[in-house]
Structure 1
Amino acid sequence: MNKRTFIKALGLTAGLSPMMALKSDVLAAQSPEDAKTILPMPLKKGDTVGLVSPSSASNDEILFQFAQETLEALGFKVLPGQHLTDRYGHLAGKDEARAGDINDMFANKEVKAIICIRGGSGAARILPLLDYKTIKKNPKPILGYSDITAIHNAIYAQTGLITFHGPNGTGSWNSFNVKQFEQMFFEEKLVKFENEQEKGDDLIVKKNRIQTITPGTAEGVIVGGNLTVLTGLAGSPYLPDFKHKILFLEDVGEDPYRIDRMMSTLMLMGALDEIKGFIFGQCSDCDPSGGYGSLTIWQILQDYIKPLGIPAYRGAMIGHVSKQFIVPIGAKVKMDAGLGVFEMTEKIFQS
């Protein structure tokens, strides 16, 4: 994902969103404080799931086949969105088409869950076009990550529905991800998110290590996602209230100075003031690109998070990595920053 120029467009879209919202009664937004958490309906093998493409276009036709075969291997029937293979510039179709596929999947009683085929960019453009009334009346799981952060947070902010930050349809469906998916959706377990340790031939474990910023435990509703996309929603009605929440973040391909700038945005808008806990996942390919020097990601987190005095750690298996946690946005969790773990504390599906 190359977001160097995209964040400018995303920020512009988010800035326009409140004005656009006034034009549609489906966006007569309730504040997050008024939104009651809505649990999605459960899933089982044999159900029909909808496959949609809300962001960037896929540049290889076989990716559609891979996504469908993956979902079928998980035990589902697959209903492709009407505009799944559309293309409009770098986008997977025009805004109305991409939003329409999501709206149709929520309205379709035969569809029990929605899977996003990929991220990229462009999801923020369709947020004013989503039918939040229909989504609220037909609560079902929607899964994806990266640019899908915009959709997760908009749905949660507008409806209170729990959504799922995890592998896209064309993502990595290795044994770790499949097992976690089955535990969460089929077995309805209260999943404990603890990094897989891989020692290999080294004397000590180095891979998937966590770093504690501030030790301690915290309980609360978890929200967050991709840092670039999340900060692009600033000033819009599609960003949830972070008050008393546990915030998780991840990113990819961002120079540390841009991570610093986005963290300062969260600070200046007051989003960090009253969070109860903080989890930073992976910042893949976030090495400095040159210049006279660079802050490290660790220094940036020390500057912005350490002074808050809340339980916080870095290194969770969240983000642009092959093995990644499926995080239920809007669910209640308990975290232990010293151990580098968090776990669900309540059931997240309707009985």
Structure 2
Amino acid sequence: MTSSRRQWLRTAMATAGATWGAQAASAAAMAPQGAMAPGRLPLAPEPLPALRPRRLQPGDTIGLVSPANATYEREPLTLAVEALQAIGFKVKLGRHVQARYGQFAGTDAQRAGDINDFFAEDEVAGILALTGGSGCNRIVDKLNYALIRRKPKFFGGFSDLTSLLNAIHRQTGLITFHSPVASSEWNEFSLQHFKAVVMDAVPDLLVNPNDKGDSLVQATDRITTVRPGVARGRLVGGNLTVLASLAGSPYFPDCRGALLFLEDVNEYIYRLDRCLSTLRLAGALDALAGVVLGQFTRCGPGDGAYGTLTLDEVFDDYFLPLNVPVFRGAMIGHIRRKFTVPVGQMADMDAQAGTVRLLSSAVS
């Protein structure tokens, strides 16, 4: 190809690119806000100011939704309702909480609709997921974020709910809650932390129980300091594989200056490695203030043999180069006793002590 021909191609491509950019900018300026997605707000370049939901009180009505998997038997729903009533709440079932579409609790429109409906209903003080599973990513772009921002209220759950917790906070600034789902075991530990954060409006201290039992050393619920230090930032995160699936979308959390908390269950180590690689390549690890690793339950090498990296090695590879405080073993994840972690709340972490302290109440 001659030099004149190459120059002509470069000029033509630059002209076409400039024309396309101008057309796209013009179209974006003229497009109505609603054209982006149902009720979605324009994504702010900086984190939105935190919106705190009203704290829950005995007698409040909780809207029970199933944004992910269907519940096939009647008893789990009955037990979940009775548990919430025992806490002191009234319970209102989403219209499709018992629906079924494949493995999901209804179609995408039905599951998203139940959430939107409950945010719109003044009678409902808060919204809690019945269970996790899969499918929340399918509806993350179907929530009415403009409505949620106008009528903020408690929204909680964990596992697959990671998508919705982070999307709601990212799009609206509303603090959401990585908490037990309604069908979780509401033991004393889980209930104590849920009440402290969501009902009593106190700046909770998230610290593992110190219980050796009759052993010489504590063998369960241990904290491991990966890199010592203290840090302050907004709490974001949740289930690692679900979070990684949001990378590159407008629903992924802003991780700049954040405390990233992660957990997972039933994943091979190589898959967790891949998810952390996704976060690294997306730039999510570049400017973290600190990392809190929860429980990685039944996450092993697969096939009964270590031909792969260990979890220790994977975490060291990704987190030690960041030069920020990191600890592992927090009571976050698919475990019986779990913290309630407010997504978007400012907190201090101490990697040596293995603690996270909320700086203020996450509810108003």
User: Fold-level match, TM-score > 0.5?
Assistant: yes
Residue 223 of structure 2 corresponds to residue 210 of structure 1: yes
Query: Structure 1 unaligned runs (5+)?
Result: 1-20
Aligned to 1:283: 296
- Does the CA-based 8 Å contact 1:91-1:121 persist in structure 2? yes
Task: Map 1:222-241 onto structure 2 (within 5 A).
Answer: 222-241=235-254
Q: State the 1:98 CA deviation.
A: 0.3
Aligned residue number for residue 329 of structure 1: 343
Partner residue of 1:135 out of 148, 151, 156? 148
Instruction: Give 1:182 shift.
Output: 1.8
SS in 1 for 2:141: helix
Secondary structure of the 1:111 match is coil
Q: 1:200-228 deviations in whole A, cap 9, x for unaligned?
A: 12111111111111101001111000001
1:305 match: secondary structure: helix
- 1:189 and 1:241 map into 2 onto residues whose CA distance is 25
Which residue, out of 130, 147, 164, partners 1:151? 164
What SS class does the counterpart of residue 299 from structure 2 fall into? coil
Contact 2:41–2:146 at 8 Å: present in 1 too?
Answer: no
Q: Given residue 196 of structure 1, which amino acid in structure 2 is its aligned partner?
A: P
CA distance in 1, matches of 2:55, 2:45: 24
Distance 2:218 2:36 in 1: 55
SS in 1 for 2:140: helix
Aligned to 1:68: 81
- Among 231, 251, 256, the alignment partner of 2:264 is 251
| 2:317 partner amino acid | D
Contact 2:50–2:174 (8 Å) recurs in 1: yes
Within 5 A, what are the aligned runs for 1:72-221?
Answer: 72-221=85-234
Preserved CA contact (<8 Å) 2:255 2:288: yes
Q: Is the 8 A contact 2:55 2:200 kept in 1?
A: no
**Residue deviations 1:122-170 (CA, integer Å, cap 9, x gap):** 0010111100011111111111000000000110110010000010000
Give the structure 1 partner of residue 24 of structure 2.
none
Identity percentage of aligned residues: 45
- CA distance in 1 between partners of 2:47 and 2:230 (Å): 27
Q: Distance in 1 between matches of 2:295 and 2:287?
A: 23
Cα RMSD of the aligned pairs, angstroms, is: 1.3
> Alpha-carbon deviations, 1:256-286, whole Å to 9, x = none?
1111111111111110000000000000000
Secondary structure of residue in 1 paired with 2:127: strand
Aligned length: 330
Paired position in structure 2 for 1:4: none
CA distance in 2, matches of 1:256, 1:282: 13
When Rg is computed on C-alpha atoms for both structures, the one with the higher figure is 2
Mapped partners of 1:62, 1:292: distance in 2 = 40
Q: Matches of 1:119 and 1:325 in 2, distance apart?
A: 17
Q: Which region of structure 1 is more displaced relative to structure 2, 210-219 or 28-37?
A: 28-37
**Contact 2:60–2:89 at 8 Å: present in 1 too?**
yes
Asked if residue 299 in structure 1 is aligned to residue 320 in structure 2, the reply is no
Contact 1:213 1:311 in 2 (8 A): yes
Matched residue, 2:14: none
Corresponding residue SS for 1:279: strand
Q: Distance in 2 between matches of 1:32 and 1:193?
A: 30
TM-score (norm 2): 0.88
How far does residue 25 in structure 1 lie from its aligned partner after superposition?
A: 5.6
Equivalents in 2 of 1:33, 1:26: separation in Å?
A: 20
More moved, 28-37 vs 76-85: 28-37
Q: Is residue 271 of structure 2 the alignment partner of residue 274 of structure 1?
A: no
CA distance in structure 2 between the partners assigned to 1:265 and 1:41 by the alignment? 35
Structure 1 residue runs of 4+, over 4 Å off?
A: none
- Checking the alignment, whether the CA contact within 8 Å between 1:196 and 1:208 is kept in structure 2 is yes
Q: What TM-score does the superposition give when structure 1 sets the normalisation length?
A: 0.92
d(CA) in 2 for partners of 1:23, 1:309 = 38
Tell me what 1:315 maps to: 329
- Structure 1 equivalent of residue 66 of structure 2: 53
Letter in 2 for 1:186: M
Structure 1 residues 23 and 160, CA gap change in structure 2 (3 angstroms): closer
Rounded Cα–Cα distance in structure 2 between residues aligned with 1:32 and 1:149: 21
| Aligned match for 1:27, one of 40, 48, 52 | 40
TM superposition shift of 1:190: 0.8
Rounded to whole Å, the distance in 2 between the matches of 1:252 and 1:137 is 35
Shift in alpha-carbon separation, 1:22–1:243, aligned structure 2, 3 A: farther
> Using CA pairs below 8 Å that are at least 6 residues apart, which structure has the higher relative contact order?
1
